[in-house]
């Protein structure tokens, strides 16, 4: 997949001597139309990759912020079918790389092959399946390869070095390093060993390494951009929705302001 949208994006960011900005929102939070406009706002603000959370009733890797976002999306009527429609709606105005942040139950319930086929037809570029270990992912990997969908796998601070080979072999888009133990959510401080962990992962892959979980300020973005190929911001963006959930105009205003803050001072330059 040498000419993939994701690879082109990372190559362009490298050419511009900066990290790739990956922004997360839960698809359909708080409702379909507002969520589409929220995604449009992020894209217009200059993000490089859009990571869409697929609403799920038991999001075990997520903290309260993203759990509640998924709950709001589900209550508004989002389901697997609507999520694919959601991506098609974004594709009407943007060619930005889209990564699904999902759980294996949702893939398994449709079947790996049908899920990959539907995702590709909708315009999804890659699947990050949170709770699927690479050792058990062959059917999923085969389906993704068949339909030209890239894969993202996670490395945690607790991942033993002996597993890095398997994880890196399974991924084809990028490696997602979780900067701390536990679930998603905004944090005041970042871990102090991110650089050494990124360098360790790079010994086992030529793919880009992005860092996420807990990133909430331009200082965090700048710190990660100096040592990694990309930075992921999720809960800090989702909170813009949560704090203005009854007013769609306020959601958009809050998102614009948050993105200006996150990009402040050319924070992505490494």
| The pLDDT value given to residue 138 | 97
Distance (Å) of CA 213 to CA 62, 81, 180, 231: 9, 28, 7, 9
Length of the chain, in residues: 270
Number of structural domains in the chain: 1
Q: Is residue 14 part of a domain?
A: yes
| The pLDDT value given to residue 66 | 86
- Is the CB of residue 115 less than 8 Å from the CB of residue 146? no
- What average pLDDT does the chain have? 92
Quick check: bond before 131 cis, omega within 30? no
- Is the CB of residue 38 less than 8 Å from the CB of residue 25? yes
| The pLDDT value given to residue 125 | 98
The SS3 call for residue 17 is coil
Distance (Å) of CA 77 to CA 10, 74, 214: 34, 5, 28
Q: Is residue 133 part of a domain?
A: yes
Q: Supply the CATH number for residue 150's domain.
A: 3.20.20.70
Task: Please determine, for residue 149, whether its predicted confidence score (pLDDT) is greater than 80.
Answer: yes
pLDDT per position as a tens digit, 41-74: 999 999 999 999 999 888 776 778 888 998 999 9
Q: Is residue 145 part of a domain?
A: yes
Active-site residue set: 51, 62
Q: Is residue 269 part of a domain?
A: no
Task: Give the E-state strand segments of the chain in sequence order.
Answer: 20-26, 49-53, 98-102, 126-129, 150-155, 174-178, 209-212, 230-233
Mean pLDDT along residues 206-210: 98
Q: Is residue 22 part of a domain?
A: yes
- Is the CB of residue 54 less than 8 Å from the CB of residue 25? no
Q: Is residue 202 part of a domain?
A: yes
pLDDT per position as a tens digit, 121-132: 999 999 999 999
Domain of residue 46, residue span: 5-262
Q: Is residue 79 part of a domain?
A: yes
Mean pLDDT along residues 106-130: 97
Task: Please determine, for residue 134, whether its predicted confidence score (pLDDT) is greater than 90.
Answer: yes
């Amino acid at each position: 997949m040498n000419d993939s949208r994701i690879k082109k994006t990372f190559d362009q960011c490298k050419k511009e001597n900066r990290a790739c900005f990956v922004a997360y929102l839960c698809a359909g939070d708080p409702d379909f139309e507002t969520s589409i406009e929220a995604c449009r706002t992020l894209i217009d603000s200059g993000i490089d990759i859009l990571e869409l959370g697929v609403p799920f009733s038991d999001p075990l890797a997520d903290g309260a912020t993203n759990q509640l976002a998924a709950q709001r999306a589900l209550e508004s009527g989002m389901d697997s079918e609507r999520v694919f429609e959601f991506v098609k709606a974004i594709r009407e105005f943007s060619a930005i790389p889209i990564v699904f942040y999902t759980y294996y139950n949702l893939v398994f319930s449709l079947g790996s092959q049908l899920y990959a086929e539907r995702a590709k037809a909708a315009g999804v570029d890659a699947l990050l399946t949170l709770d699927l270990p690479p050792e058990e992912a062959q059917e999923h990997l085969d389906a993704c390869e068949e339909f030209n969908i890239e894969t993202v796998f996670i490395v945690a601070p607790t991942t033993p070095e002996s597993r890095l080979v398997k994880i890196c072999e399974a991924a084809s888009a990028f490696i997602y390093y979780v900067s701390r133990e536990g679930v998603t959510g905004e944090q005041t401080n970042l871990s102090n060993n991110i650089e050494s962990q990124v360098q360790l992962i790079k010994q086992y892959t030529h793919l880009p390494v992005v860092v996420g979980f807990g990133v909430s300020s331009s200082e965090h973005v700048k710190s990660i951009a100096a040592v990694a190929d990309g930075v992921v911001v999720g809960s800090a963006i989702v909170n813009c929705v949560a704090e203005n959930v009854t007013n769609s105009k306020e959601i958009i205003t809050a998102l614009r302001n948050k993105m200006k803050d996150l990009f402040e001072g050319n924070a992505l330059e490494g």
